Amino acid sequence: MLTMPKCVTTGFLALALLMPVAAVAQDKVVPQSRQEMQLSFSPLVKQTAGAVVNVYAERVVQRLNPFAGDPFFEQFFGQRMPNRSEKQSSLGSGVILAADGLVVTNNHVIEGADDIKIALADGREFPCDVVLKDESVDLAVLRIKSKEHFPVLPVADSDRVEVGDLVLAIGNPFGVGQTVTSGIVSALARNQITTGDFGFFIQTDASINPGNSGGALMNMNGELIGINTAIFSRGGGSNGIGFAIPANLVKVFLAAASEGKKSFERPFVGASFDAVNSDVAEALGLKTARGALVTRVVEGGPADKAGLKPGEVVIAVNGIAVEHPDALGYRLTTAGLGKQATLTVQTADGQRQVNLALNTAPETTPRDERLVEGRNPFAGLRVANLSPKLATELHIPAEKSGVVVTDVTRNSPAARLGFQPKDILISLNGTVVTSTKGMEAMLNDDPGFWRVEIERDGQRIRQFFR
């Protein structure tokens, strides 16, 4: 079971390696003597721990009276059983990456919070504002409300991280205070770790527990290589398998926040991809089942203009190998908007290279968002016209068109009938729904009997309402 850890106290650890091993890289060596094996991480911890903070998020939750709205109970008890509100708190960690107080943490640490505070390693607390957050990549940027300059953790090039590298994890596990643990990088490019659509993690065996979320995974140069995000555990504690979002994605996200962006946009490819299985690998002459198989190309989109075709496999971006479709998305995102990426493509006839323009998804149709009102089964739906841009924001296939549900008002007729955000309205009473304006006109007819067809997660659903 995957657990999203949430917050760590200064500790000093010593590393003891029992077997001298030859250097594994030109700039990386292992201890060669007893004296070297008695080295300590404490100088590195003192240098960097001040840039790792604790994040306290508080949210107010309404506890509904189960008898509210029941005429019988209201007749006898009236308002003596009102709805109650209570506060829920979550603990997490964060890393200061700009001297003016920009802090990066996980989105799940602060999601839904009404009040967020930052606590420094020296015990001082500050209020903060949310600058940018994104659920799909599980990152958030906070700004500390203070004019002082804060210690900063430098950010490394996470593409230079190798399996076996020594790392330190700093955070606040179980809310006990700032803590430091050590380990190595166990694996790279891990995917299918969380429920979001981001799937490119650094795996480490450094102890990460609930409360570590948003904390720093750091190399031996005192540089950030990742933001600790998830643990793989059956009981909620560390089993030696933790995952961190690579620093290169954090750089791109922080840059978007610094530029004042209201949302985190990633390049629009205009194509769908799937994992490569052994049969596809054998048919295309690949030695291993790696890469991103092109399954669909949107006509007129960037992939179409670049010449990508269904059945081909993208095996590298700018010369860096692509392990799976999630890795392709990561490489294109970190390459940067407004640039071009060179894709290495494997076909039945061999390899070729294509240039893909990295731009945001276009809003080809104005979204014209509307709230459905009136006496009909759809009252409470907030609907909008689909475009590649909106489809990207909602994480649905970019080629979809028509009208999509963006929100459902709680306790509304539409909510009681089971409508959900991301439902695509296909037709009403046999008439195809092409726009929010057209849908509103159909609802004004009020036939009294409704036959609706929607698409949810690729499945067609038909319902009848009176």
93, 134, 138, 158: the active-site residue: 138
Could you confirm whether 324 is annotated as catalytic? no
Widest CA span in the chain:
86
108, 158, 186, 205: the active-site residue: 108
Answer for the pair 117, 236: CB distance below 8 angstroms, yes or no: no
State the amino acid at position 402 in one-letter form.
Answer: G
Q: Give the DSSP letter string of 262-312.
A: SS-------EEEEE--HHHHHHHT-SSS-SEEEEEE-TTSHHHHHT--TT-
Q: Which two tokens stand for residue 368?
A: 């014209």
- Residues in contact with 295: Cβ distance below 8 Å, sequence separation at least 6, in sequence order: 271, 272, 273, 274, 310
Answer for the pair 383, 367: CB distance below 8 angstroms, yes or no: no
Burial class (CB in 10 A: 0-12, 13-18, 19+), 80: exposed
213, 238, 272, 412: the active-site residue: 213
Which sign, positive or negative, has the C-alpha torsion 180, 184, 190, 193? Answer: negative
Could you confirm whether 213 is annotated as catalytic? yes
Could you confirm whether 129 is annotated as catalytic? no
Which sign, positive or negative, has the C-alpha torsion 439, 440, 446, 449? Answer: positive
Per the listing, tokens 């029992």 go with 18
State the amino acid at position 250 in one-letter form.
Answer: V
Alpha helices in 336-447 (DSSP H): 388-394, 413-416, 436-445
Region label for 398, one of left (φ > 0), alpha (ψ between -120 and 50) or beta (otherwise): alpha
- List of long-range contacts for 278-283, beta carbons under 8 Å, 24+ apart: 280/313, 283/348
In angstroms, the Cα distances linking 139 to 134, 173, 212, 252 are 6, 19, 14, 11
**For residue 93, what are the β-bridge partners?**
54
C-alpha 383: how far from chain center: 24
- Residues in contact with 279: Cβ distance below 8 Å, sequence separation at least 6, in sequence order: none
Catalytic center residues: 108, 138, 213
